[in-house]
Chains A and B, each alone.
Chain A
Amino acid sequence: MNSELRQRLLGEAAVRAAEHPADVATAVGAGMAKVRRKIAWGSVIAVAVALALTAAFVAWRIAVIPPPPALESIAVTSASQALRPEATIALTATGRYSDGSSRPLGDGVEWSSSNPGIATVDGAGVVTAVAAGSAELTATLAGVSGKLTLAVLGTDGAELTALHVSPETATVDPGGILQLLAEGTFSDGSRGNLNDSALWSSSNPAIARVDGRGLVTAVAPGTARVSASQEGLQGSSTITVPDAPKPTITAVSVNPAQLTLKEGQTAQLEAVATYSDGTSAAVGNATWETSPPGSKIADVDPTGLVTARRTGSLAVVATVPGADGQLLRGQAELTVVPSVKSIKVSPAGPLQPEPGGSVQLRAVVLYSDGTTGSDVEWSSDRPLIASVDGSGLVTGVREGDAEITATADGVTGNPVTVLVRTSPD
């Protein structure tokens, strides 16, 4: 296309465009309105789909996993519906469910009595007859209740037809006790507690003895039969008393638990075991070691003999095998202090006090770690000639010769000769 034609066409187009200008804003606005509608509809559809999916999921779940069967009714039963005062009996609550099944109810069942003056019931459903009359016993679970009417009969009239002791067998550790229950069944169908009225006896009181209310005490290992008798009827329970369990070591300690030794001194430690029966005794199979191991402060030999080597502190640990291979440990805290190396007494003497006169002596104690002190015990070999008090003050008593010494930790200092003389004046 030649440029002349091109320019002419462009010119004509420019004129038409100027006469009929297009509106971009309106056009874009219309386009964006369509976008808004798309987004709005898309959002609505997406949310609807999400909600529909949720509903579908839940519906599917409910369809796939059926809900647990609902408890429809509770049946309360007992071995007897007639009791005599003081008799106890356990009630049983059995739930019947919407799927036709039934099973015994345990936890969560609430028990109540319509008349606690006639019969009481505890949380486990055990009824105790109190006085003659009638009471309604109710078991409630999840809003569903079941009832049993219990009659408590008077104590006279009916004849005892059976006697039963429970538990029929029991194991009681030596020293332990067990309350037996003697229950009687009467001719009117009622049950009664015969613990007080029955005659109790043990086939071997050296193994298990029983008191007049059926309380059994285990005495020694073995088996005994404990019987209750009344009106010619008898019930019994077999009581087994096992051997006392062998005590096991539960803890170990070291005796003494704390000690202080001077350098070079020794001390014997012992490991003491505490047993499961509460007793304790020294044990010889302990393994001894210092903590930290290999300490130069002290040594301990396999028998627990500790030798102090240098000043410081450490622990001496005893290890004893316990039950199930468990290692039990006990320890003593040991402190090693310096020992007396030498004592120097001054003045060195000889001293010549008059009778009644006195002279002050001083002692300097040199310890193994180089420190010094003055803690000594003073003594005179002839106190009737010259006496010395705890501070080293020597007093002449009468004429004669005596020797004063200072001692600390078995070390004696240089002796000082005291010549008590009367002055010629």
Chain B
Amino acid sequence: MCELPKRRFLPSLNPLRLVLSVLAAAVVAAGWLLPELVSAIPIGAGLLTLVAAVLLPAVKEIEFGLSPGFKLSPALKDREAELRSVFERQKGDMEYCAHLLCDNPETARELLEAAWSQAASAWRGPVTPQLRVYTLCVLVRLLRKHEMWMRPSGGGAAPPLPGAGPLASLTFDERIVVVLHEFANFTFAEIAGMTDRTTPEVTGAMSHAAALTRGPSPAESPPAAPRQLEEGPQ
């Protein structure tokens, strides 16, 4: 399961928004005292102020991680530039993982771009190192869906492409475990969380895969092996 950061409401409660909220509420209350249709003016103005000056900016900040302020376009551009910069630094790592997970290079590229797109639209709040985990998680999810669609109707795994490497001989779940553990340096617990499986299932898959790739068993696996596919500095 790909986890997004939790919503953080407190930082968005700045003094300006509090004052505007109180003022808008006062205007609505004042409108309540006016007779009949005239009351619509202050009530509407108060509610629109509440929505436009308090609610929407807060939602933009909390939900989309945009910088505070009333101007939307510069905030979106800043956000896009920030995400692009981070993804550019992670690009090499991500591309290795995508191509290690998928034998079809064109499909790997398309799914990686789709993962970035989804991560850019769904990521909440400020950009943190957790974004890499989330993007990889989305990529794995997309690959899994793709693999399900490509699976032959009779069941079983899709036949490996001609010239595919030793990873093609693994089941898809084993391949995910091997790539994420060996090349992306995720722990088995992290992999279990990302793939909605239990840790024993992940370690079991790794043991089976290790026999085929002549690698070390999970017990012998170094817990803090140097990352070969580390993302660039953020």
CB pair A47–B43 under 8 Å, yes or no, is no
Q: A174 to nearest B CB, angstroms?
A: 52
Smallest CB separation, A170 vs chain B (Å): 44
User: Dominant SS at the B interface?
Assistant: helix
Compute how far the CA of A46 lies from the CA of B37 in the bound complex, rounded to whole angstroms: 22
Give per-residue flags for A14-57: 1 if the beta carbon is below 8 A from chain B beta carbons, else 0.
Answer: 10110111111111111110111011001100110111011101
B150 at interface, CB cutoff 8 A: no
By the criterion CB–CB under 8 Å, are A22 and B113 in contact?
Answer: yes
List the A side residues contacting B200 at CB < 8 Å.
none
A20 touches B105 (CB 8 A): yes
Contact across chains for B113 and A19 when beta carbons are under 8 A apart: no
Residue with the greatest number of chain B CB neighbours at <10 A, chosen from A2, A16, A28, A54: A28
Instruction: Say yes or no for A12: interface residue by CB 8 A criterion.
Output: yes
Is the pair B84, A24 in contact by a Cβ cutoff of 8 Å?
Answer: yes
Please tell me if A8 contacts chain B, counting CB pairs below 8 Å. yes
**Within the complex, which residue of A1, A13, A67 is in contact with B178, where a contact is CB–CB below 8 Å?**
A1
Closest to B97 in A: A13
The yes or no answer to A6 lying at the interface (CB within 8 A) is yes
Which residue of chain A has the shortest Cβ distance to B107 in the bound complex? A20
- Does B71 have its Cβ within 8 Å of any Cβ on chain A? no
In the complex, A43→B66 CA distance in Å?
Answer: 15
CB distance from B78 to the nearest CB of A (A): 11
Tell me which residues from 110 to 126 in chain B have a Cβ below 8 Å from any Cβ of chain A. Answer: 112-122
B48 contact from A23, A26, A30, A47, Cβ within 8 A: A47
Option from B98, B165, B210 in Cβ contact (under 8 Å) with A12: B165
- Counting residue pairs across A and B whose Cβ atoms lie within 8 Å, the total is 156
Q: Contacts A20-B106, A54-B40: A27 and B51 contacting too (C-beta < 8 A)?
A: no
SS class of chain A's interface: helix, strand, loop or mixed? helix
Q: How far is the CB of A208 from chain B (nearest CB, A)?
A: 53
A5 contacts the other chain (CB 8 A)? yes
Pairwise interchain contact A1-B182, C-beta atoms closer than 8 A: yes
CB pair A27–B56 under 8 Å, yes or no, is: no
The answer to whether A17 and B99 touch (CB under 8 A), given A1-B215, A54-B43, A58-B40, is yes
| A79 CB within 8 Å of chain B | no
Instruction: Report yes or no: A50 in contact with B96, Cβ–Cβ below 8 A.
Output: no
The distance in angstroms between the C-alpha atoms of A82 and B56, with both chains bound, is: 74
Residues of A within 8 A of B (CB): 1-2, 5-6, 8-10, 12-14, 16-17, 19-32, 34-36, 38-39, 42-43, 46-47, 49-51, 53-55, 57-58, 61-62, 67
Q: Which residues from chain B contact A46 at a C-beta distance below 8 Å?
A: 51, 55-56
Tell me whether A35 and B120 are in contact in the complex, defined as CB-CB below 8 angstroms, given that A22-B94, A27-B113 are known contacts.
Answer: yes
> Which chain A positions have C-beta within 8 A of B64?
35, 38-39
Residue B100 lies at the interface, judged by CB distance under 8 Å to chain A? yes
A117 → chain B, closest Cβ, in Å? 43
What are 29 contact pairs spanning A and B, CB under 8 A?
A: A1-B213, A1-B214, A6-B183, A6-B228, A10-B228, A16-B99, A17-B96, A20-B109, A21-B95, A21-B109, A24-B84, A27-B87, A28-B120, A30-B120, A31-B116, A31-B117, A31-B118, A34-B121, A38-B121, A46-B56, A50-B47, A51-B44, A51-B47, A51-B48, A54-B47, A58-B37, A58-B39, A58-B40, A61-B39
Give the contacts of B205-234 with A (CB-CB under 8 A): 210, 213-216, 228
A29 to B96, CA, bound (A): 22
Identify which of B37, B60, B95, B215 contacts A17 (C-beta below 8 A). Answer: B95
